[in-house]
């Protein structure tokens, strides 16, 4: 078996006695799309926050490409090759779509202590940024301000930014949240195009999406991973059916 891209072991996080993350073990293999599902309050967001560095775990370790990143601040995780999208879309509002992606490129092209040359004329930033926008089919909106984008487009932009960091692992926190059917299917095809090219850890509510995209699924209930396996294995797992899927797949 190849060395895992992400190895989470014994992760624990509690809030005032409530275990939001209860001894979580999770392995994400190279180039797989790994989905984390679970009912509301299962601790998915808390888990993502710890993986991206926004929250500090009480115990446990996070290894990324064999490196212990448990105590890395978010920006160092990004530099190491771990990109995240946010559950609530998060882009730089006062800037254009292109500027947002160019910033993501810039962050990974050495330090930004360059005070003189205009960044907008910097082909080293603009060209890769445009490529990423084409990849998520947002190129024609490059010069619009981000607040002119629809919700779905903003999500696409977030993916473009994640890609612009040349990340090896994409942490996608409910990329379809709040989307209409059309927007959602556009996102699915964007992610499908990335499948096999990038390693993805996907937190998602929409079961159709999860079963369409995921190679493997981990089920999180009350902060615990109760099952991990292929979509078929998870679908037929008794504990999962009881705890989560309920009648939906019965």
What residues line the site for other proteins (CB under 8 A)? 52, 54, 73-75, 78-79, 83-84, 86, 90-96, 99, 102-104, 106-108, 112-122, 125, 143-145, 161, 165
Cα Rg of the chain, angstroms: 18
Residue 116 beta carbon to other proteins: minimum distance, rounded to whole angstroms: 5
Cβ nearer to other proteins, comparing 27 with 96: 96
Residue 176 beta carbon to other proteins: minimum distance, rounded to whole angstroms: 19
Q: What angle do CA 22, 24, 25 make, to 5 degrees?
A: 160
Cβ nearer to other proteins, comparing 1 with 116: 116
**85 touches 159 (CB < 8 A):** yes
Residue linked to tokens 């059309």: 182
Cβ nearer to other proteins, comparing 14 with 45: 45
Residue 213 beta carbon to other proteins: minimum distance, rounded to whole angstroms: 22
Cβ nearer to other proteins, comparing 38 with 53: 53
Burial class for 232, CB neighbours closer than 10 Å (0-12, 13-18, 19+): exposed
Residue linked to tokens 């096999």: 196
Burial class for 181, CB neighbours closer than 10 Å (0-12, 13-18, 19+): exposed
Cβ nearer to other proteins, comparing 159 with 227: 159
Cα separation, 35 vs 38, whole angstroms: 10
Cα separation, 125 vs 121, whole angstroms: 8
Q: What phi and psi values does residue 85 have, to the nearest 5 degrees? A: -110, 160
Residue 157 beta carbon to other proteins: minimum distance, rounded to whole angstroms: 11
Q: How far is CA 203 from the centre of its chain?
A: 7
Cβ nearer to other proteins, comparing 16 with 118: 118
**116 touches 131 (CB < 8 A):** no
Cβ nearer to other proteins, comparing 141 with 186: 141
Residue 65 beta carbon to other proteins: minimum distance, rounded to whole angstroms: 16
Residue 244 beta carbon to other proteins: minimum distance, rounded to whole angstroms: 29
Cα separation, 236 vs 249, whole angstroms: 9
Residue 86 beta carbon to other proteins: minimum distance, rounded to whole angstroms: 8
Tokens of 170: 């994409």
């Amino acid at each position: 078996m190849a060395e895992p891209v992400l190895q989470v072991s014994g992760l624990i996080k509690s809030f005032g006695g409530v275990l939001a993350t209860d001894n979580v073990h999770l392995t994400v293999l190279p180039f797989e799309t790994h989905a984390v599902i679970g009912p509301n309050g299962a601790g998915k967001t808390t888990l993502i926050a710890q993986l991206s560095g926004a929250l500090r775990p009480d115990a446990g370790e996070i290894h990324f490409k064999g490196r212990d990143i448990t105590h890395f601040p978010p920006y160092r995780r990004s530099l190491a090759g771990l990109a995240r999208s946010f559950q609530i879309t998060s882009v730089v509002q006062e800037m254009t779509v292109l500027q947002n992606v160019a910033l993501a490129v810039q962050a990974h092209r050495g330090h930004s202590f360059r005070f003189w040359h205009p960044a907008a004329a910097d082909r080293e930033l603009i060209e890769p940024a445009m490529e990423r926008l084409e990849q998520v089919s947002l190129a024609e909106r490059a010069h619009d301000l981000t607040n002119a984008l629809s919700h779905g487009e903003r999500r696409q932009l977030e993916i473009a930014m994640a890609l612009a960091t040349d990340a090896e692992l994409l942490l996608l926190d409910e990329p379809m949240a709040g989307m209409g059917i059309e927007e959602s299917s556009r996102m699915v095809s964007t992610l499908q195009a990335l499948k096999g090219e990038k390693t993805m850890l996907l937190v998602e509510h929409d079961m159709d999406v999860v079963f369409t995209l995921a190679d493997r699924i981990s089920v999180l209930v009350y902060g615990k991973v109760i099952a991990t396996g292929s979509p078929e294995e998870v679908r037929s797992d008794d504990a999962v059916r009881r705890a989560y899927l309920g009648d939906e797949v019965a």
